[in-house]
Each structure stands twice: as structure tokens, then as C-alpha cells.
């Protein structure tokens, strides 16, 4: 039985998942690779369409995943402790959903069995971003489709 057939994410707590299971939770949306602003008083997060320079915007994959935290110090390598208060992650992020005891959406590849279902459902950033070098004031790049 494959991992997704067994619905492991419904039965296995985040802190009991294997590395492979943990990694497979990522739906590849790349929303977490967008720059964002935070209201320090309310902790409200405002996402922009400005994308990290290391992201390959065609594949929505990091071009230097192994060295991402060195190359981009603000890039968070998600751990269990980050998920104790995951307000800063996109609301659709699978790690946040599970940390908040919610279900994965139907378009999540583990549920749909189709990696293209993320983009088909409008949850991929592919084709919707601007590089940092082309961005002016971040407040001019706020988005509401996260
Ligand atoms: S927002 Fe979550 S699910 Fe989407 S790419 Fe980032 S870590 Fe993966
Ligand atoms: S370093 Fe890679 S994983 Fe981190 S935000 Fe940039 S593109 Fe995304």
C-alpha cells in the first residue's frame, strides 16, 4: 500500500511521521516562497506576489534547496517547533492545516493523487509572481489570492 493510499496524515501525528511522509506533505504551491509583510501589533500577514530569487518559477521548486537557509537567511526550514504557532504560513499550507487539526483539501496531491491538481485548483503561484529585482514598494504588490 502506498503512503497516500494509507492516508497516513490522518493517522500519524506530525511528530511521528517519517522524513518521507513529512516531505510529502508539501503540496508544492510555493506560496511560502513569496515575500510577505506582517503587522507587528495584530500579527496579520500580508502576502505579496514578489517571489524569492532562488525559486524556479516554472517548476515552483527551490533551485538550491540544500543550501536555502544559508543563501536566504529568512527562509524557514520548517520544524515541529515552528508549527506550534503557524499563523505566518499560508492558510492552505498542509503543515499548518495538520498542525491546526484540519483536513487536507481535495486538491492536495496526497488526496487527489495528481500533482497538477494544485495548479488546477488555483493554488500554485506559477505565472503569478514578479522577481524581487523588478518589485518597487512591497505594498504595491499585495495579493488576495493566497
Ligand atoms: S506553503 Fe506549505 S505546502 Fe505550500 S510549498 Fe510552502 S511548505 Fe509546501
Ligand atoms: S530559499 Fe528556496 S525554499 Fe526558501 S523561500 Fe527561497 S525559493 Fe523558497
Instruction: Say what the alpha-carbon torsion angle 94, 91, 86, 30 is, to the nearest 10 degrees.
Output: 60
Q: What mean pLDDT is predicted for residues 54-59?
A: 95
Q: Whose CA is nearest to atom 4 of ligand 2?
A: 75
Q: Which domain holds residue 31?
A: 8-141
pLDDT score of 92: 98
Q: How many structural domains does the chain have?
A: 1
Q: Is the CB of 146 under 6 A from ligand 1?
A: no
Q: What is the rounded radius of gyration, in angstroms, for the C-alpha atoms of the chain?
A: 15
Tell me if 52 is assigned to some domain: yes
Percentage above 90 pLDDT, the chain: 94
User: Mean of the pLDDT values across residues 86-93?
Assistant: 98
Q: Which atom of ligand 1 is nearest to the CA of 78?
A: 7
Is 85 contained in some domain? yes
Across the range 126-131, mean pLDDT stands at 96
Q: Which atom of ligand 1 is nearest to the CA of 30?
A: 5
**Ligand located closest to 125 CA:** 1
Assess if residue 146 is contained within a domain.
no
Residue 6: the pLDDT is 82
Is any atom of ligand 2 closer than 6 Å to the C-beta of 104? no
Whether 3 is in a domain gets the answer no
Residue 119 lies in a domain: yes
Mean pLDDT of the chain: 95
Q: Residue 118's beta-bridge partner residues?
A: none
Within 13 Å, how many C-alpha atoms sit on residue 30's CB side?
A: 24
Q: Give me the pLDDT at residue 107, please.
A: 98
Amino acid at each position: 500500500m502506498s503512503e497516500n493510499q494509507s492516508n497516513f496524515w490522518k493517522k500519524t501525528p506530525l511528530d511521528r511521521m517519517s522524513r518521507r511522509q513529512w516531505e510529502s506533505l508539501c503540496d508544492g504551491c510555493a506560496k511560502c516562497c513569496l515575500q510577505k509583510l506582517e503587522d507587528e501589533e495584530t500579527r496579520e500577514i500580508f502576502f505579496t506576489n514578489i517571489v524569492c530569487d532562488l525559486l524556479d518559477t516554472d517548476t515552483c521548486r527551490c533551485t538550491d534547496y540544500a543550501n536555502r537557509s544559508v543563501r536566504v537567511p529568512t527562509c524557514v526550514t520548517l520544524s515541529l517547533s515552528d508549527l506550534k504557532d503557524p499563523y505566518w504560513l499560508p492558510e492552505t499550507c498542509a503543515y499548518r492545516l495538520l498542525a491546526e487539526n484540519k483536513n487536507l483539501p481535495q486538491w492536495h496531491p496526497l488526496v487527489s493523487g495528481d500533482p497538477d491538481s494544485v495548479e488546477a485548483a488555483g493554488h500554485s503561484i506559477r505565472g503569478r509572481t514578479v522577481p524581487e529585482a523588478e518589485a518597487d514598494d512591497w505594498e504595491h504588490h499585495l495579493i488576495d489570492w493566497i
